[in-house]
Amino acid sequence: MDVNDDDVEIMSHAFALAEQAYENLEVPIGCVIVCPVAKFPSLLPSNGRTLEAVCKNTLLIIGAGRNNTMASCNATRHAEIEAIDQITKSFCDTIPWHQCSLYVTVEPCIMCIAALTDLGKFCRPNSLCLGIKEIIFGCHNDRFGGCGSAMKLPSSYSDNPPITIRHGVSAKEAITLLRRFYIRENKSAPKPRKKDNRTLKDCF
């Protein structure tokens, strides 16, 4: 895949969030959702949240998220879901999902791909309920990836146009961050129970 400077710049914001997740003992995945400034110059949050412009002020980061499953005690609070929720809470009017791109450090899981393909369930009344335009991710997710690594949603899942998928942006950095996470000791994990006095039951 061809990687340009804009891709690397935007992905760096996702990595900053992934590092925050790492520091909070979450699986280190971060993402941002960007929208072109020129096509939607009047897209302003209703809650006063300041939007950050990137790529020489041509794109706005309208949503951002990191994994938050441990702190929330909710296994569905992936980075992508956090970003979607941030957007829907910030904007009262039309959310131009079909013009937005998602940058995420690791390939989205099947659950998140399903959500990104049909964002109508997250839309407010009168919102433009289409799927997101493009997903750009760093490294593959061989166990749970919904962009083809583990599974790919059938075309019949949604009537919306198919999402463009690109990958390989800062892939080595994404893999390194995951390895840092998985080799360290999780101090919040429960202590394993001893099995010394257990016996094998031979009746069923």
Domains and CATH numbers, the chain: 5-183 (3.40.140.10)
Assigned token pair, 141: 């997710």
Which of 101, 108, 129, 138 has the alpha carbon at shortest distance from 1? 138
pLDDT attached to residue 78? 98
pLDDT at 115 over 60: yes
pLDDT digits (tens, 9 = 90+) for 169-183: 999 999 999 999 999
For residues 96-107, give the mean pLDDT.
92
Check if the beta carbon of residue 153 is closer than 8 Å to that of residue 112.
Answer: no
pLDDT digits (tens, 9 = 90+) for 64-81: 999 999 999 999 999 999
For residue 173, how many other CB atoms are within 10 A of its CB?
Answer: 17
pLDDT at 47 over 60: no
Concerning whether 19 is annotated as a catalytic residue, the answer is no
For residues 75-104, give the mean pLDDT.
87
Q: State the average pLDDT for the chain.
A: 83
Annotated active-site residue in 80, 82, 107, 134: 80
136: Cβ contacts below 8 Å, ≥ 6 apart? 7, 10, 11, 101, 102, 103, 104, 166, 167, 169
Please provide residue 4's backbone torsions phi and psi, each rounded to the nearest 5 degrees.
-110, 175
The dihedral built from the CA positions of residue 144, 147, 148 and 149, taken in this order, carries a sign that is negative
pLDDT at 199 over 60: yes
pLDDT digits (tens, 9 = 90+) for 2-41: 778 889 999 999 999 999 999 999 999 999 999 988 766 5
pLDDT attached to residue 51? 75
pLDDT at 61 over 80: yes
